[in-house]
Amino acid sequence: MNIKDIARLAGVSPTTVSKILNRKDQNISSQTRTVVLDTIKKYHYTPYARITAQRNTWLVGVCVRETKENMRLVSGIIETLQKHHISTLVVYTSEKSREEQSITELIQSNISALIWEPLNTMQTPTNTTIDNLCAKHDIEVLKLGKDGGKQNYSIDFETLAHDLSAELILAGHRHIACLTNKETPRAFIQGYASILFQRKIMLAEQNCYTSVCNELLQALVNGDITAVVCASWQQAQDLRTQLYTLHIQAPQDFSLVCLQSDAEYALQSADEQTQIDTGAANTNGCASVVYSYLNTPISAYSISYKDFGTYIAQQLQIANQSVVDTDGCARKQDTASDAVFNFIPTHNALTTRASIASPQNNQHERIVIVGSINIDTQLLVDHIPDAGSTVTTTTSHISVGGKGLNYAIGVAKLAHKAVLIGNIGDDSESSMIYKELSRWNIDTKGVVRTKDEQTGKAYICVDKQGASTITILTGANSKLCAQDIIERKHLFKNASLCLIPSEVPLDAAEQACKEAKRQGAQVIFKPVALTEFPKRMAAYIDYIIPNEHELAALCYALKNCAQAHTPHRDDRSAKKAQNALIDHAHMLLNLGIPHVIVTRGEKGCDYFSASSHIHTPSHAFKTIDTTGASDAFICAFATSLLSNDTVERALDDACYAAGYSTTRPGVVQALIDAQTLELYRERHIDTKQNA
């Protein structure tokens, strides 16, 4: 800053400033004198002659914005310069009105070099003034600019974004969104766009987002976008957190990559430690599942701003290849005026591939359930009442239930994504339903409150031997119809399996079978209290799983249906199997259903197909309550199928899960979880190997 700058700032002529400095201001008004002296004081102005006489060769000034990343950058600068016995004077500023004053103060402190991040990347009057001031005082200047540019030092965000997006393309993604914010360098977007152009992937402007908005969330929910590249870890975490509430997870449903600075990594580590210290990581049940997921590392390229600071410090002539003049001042060597300095952080590979999967695998664990949703009232009695008898009890338990809800929670406990479709009432119990489904991270977009209807109720009597009877008040469940399924058909998209118990109206169940098959999903059908069964439904069912009583009732309904017919088997086969179970199972096979599984309680289960009959024994458990055994069986069988297990393996898992559920009262709390089932699998394999 020189006398002309002070004159401009004070609104007077340079001559006036000179007279006041040299105390020749007798003819100048006291008001003008006060304005000039205040300006001189504000900007710490010292005549150039006094500065050059006191120049400190071993002091570097740093003026940057106050950000977490810049604090790491400054630490790298300071540590590097200290090795050269050079001191550092740092000023953080975010106000354009104070930028010139801050740098003037640094110059007044006799710095020999300046590392400066201009608040305005354009060549403004302020920038020009600072440039001229540094040139006049022969101060070496290194400029930082997030978007690079001539004579600016910056991180090569274009290369980083290019390579980061390429990771998603190599995984098979073609519908990739870019998530940035107002601080993101333009180079990042340019790198994202360049790799799409190189790979001949259409760049859609609507796929570039500057915040986690509803449009982005909806595009991910609908599957229109299968992957997102984020400019920062914090944005990636915000996106992941919001999508979790919508039952969308990485990498099951979409892939996610980001840049992560060392400042963000330090913040993440501190947050994790805080949660551990406060016990958040040690909670039980679904809360620990949420904690575990949101603290799973995101696939990222690491950026060390501290290393960038080291790199910047090493470029200073005073620290590297200074040319010292006779007056002791470090003078800049000539550089090309159009030079561009890009720092490329070392990123040999992603930190992890935990949040990346191919789009074909993104939703392979998605299971859609169409079924009843109830509030269960369980009564523990000495014996199941006979007709005309009365029993009393002093023990009852109220919980959520219904086969649809039970299947959804059972699937979730076995670590698979569950989507539930059904109706509930507009009563107070509906809030209890939503709360429990949310607790297990179950997709509830298909669960709808029905006006002027009550939520379904189930009244369950359980005797001392664990046997039970169930009476159902259908409520809102009875209002679910085919049109409701059509309106919610988008929820079947990308499903691998669809579980449909017939506690809902048959037209809704049939429409659900059709929608599932249109999306390529296999259908598992549970016939509950059926008095009729349209033959046409068989074409949409892959597995039907009745118990012995349900099988007999279903086949009785078929025999009394004009379209039904008795299956034909040769005499030899009939002689070998003179029991109703096999007759009934083959009746269903002849309808076109390829797989029939009959659950038989303590007798295990029997599997039938056109070419095989497999009997799987039950597992020995001390029985307390058998109410949830059927639900546990179906959930374990379905998830085992999704894990590409053999039918034999899936049946054994299902029998174990069913037996396990009888050791606890109720249904939801008795359903087996993934860890328990996996422990059984390991023991089972060890036992077979030892045998």
Active site residues: 631
- CA distances (Å), 53 to each of 48, 137, 327, 329, 355, in order? 9, 11, 9, 10, 60
CB atoms within 10 A of CB 210: 15
**Residue 172 annotated as binding site:** no
Contact yes or no for 125/157 (Cβ under 8 A): no
- CA distances (Å), 459 to each of 96, 223, 379, 399, 627, in order? 71, 40, 8, 11, 11
Q: Which residue reads 């402190």 in tokens?
A: 109
| Extended beta strands in 73-168, E state | 87-92, 113-116, 140-144, 152-155
**Residue 146 annotated as binding site:** no
Contact yes or no for 658/629 (Cβ under 8 A): yes
| Helices and strands, number each (H, E), in the chain | 24, 26
Give residue 681's identity as a one-letter amino acid code.
R
**Residue 622 annotated as binding site:** no
Gyration radius of the chain's alpha carbons:
37
Candidates 422, 427, 377; CA nearest to 403 is 422
**Residue 332 annotated as binding site:** no
| CA dist., res. 512 & res. 141, Å (int) | 70
Paired strand residues for 471:
459
Biggest alpha carbon–alpha carbon distance for the chain: 133
**Residue 376 annotated as binding site:** yes
**Residue 602 annotated as binding site:** yes
**Residue 433 annotated as binding site:** no
Q: Which residue reads 């990222």 in tokens?
A: 300
**Residue 114 annotated as binding site:** no
| CA dist., res. 228 & res. 484, Å (int) | 33
| CA dist., res. 531 & res. 369, Å (int) | 22
**Residue 687 annotated as binding site:** no
Contact yes or no for 109/81 (Cβ under 8 A): no
Contact yes or no for 380/393 (Cβ under 8 A): yes
**Residue 599 annotated as binding site:** yes
**Residue 503 annotated as binding site:** yes
Report helix angle 233-245 to 262-277, nearest 10.
50
> Which helix (H) or strand (E) covers residue 599, if one does?
strand 595-599
**Residue 405 annotated as binding site:** yes
Ranges of H-type helices in 454-499: 482-487
**Residue 276 annotated as binding site:** no
**Residue 374 annotated as binding site:** yes
**Residue 690 annotated as binding site:** no
**Residue 403 annotated as binding site:** yes
**Residue 350 annotated as binding site:** no
**Residue 601 annotated as binding site:** yes
| Extended beta strands in 80-226, E state | 87-92, 113-116, 140-144, 152-155, 176-179, 208-209
Question: Tokens standing for 57?
Answer: 């060769």
CB atoms within 10 A of CB 45: 21
Question: Tokens standing for 194?
Answer: 């360049």
| CA dist., res. 29 & res. 224, Å (int) | 73
3-state secondary structure of 50: helix
**Residue 547 annotated as binding site:** yes
Residues ≥6 apart with Cβ < 8 Å to 443: 246, 247, 417, 418, 419, 420, 491
List, as residue ranges, the binding site for ATP.
547, 599-604
Question: Which residues are annotated as part of the binding site for K(+)?
Answer: 625, 627, 661, 664, 666
Residue stretches of the annotated binding site:
374-376, 402-406, 503, 547, 599-604, 625, 627, 631, 661, 664, 666
- Binding positions for substrate: 374-376, 402-406, 503, 631
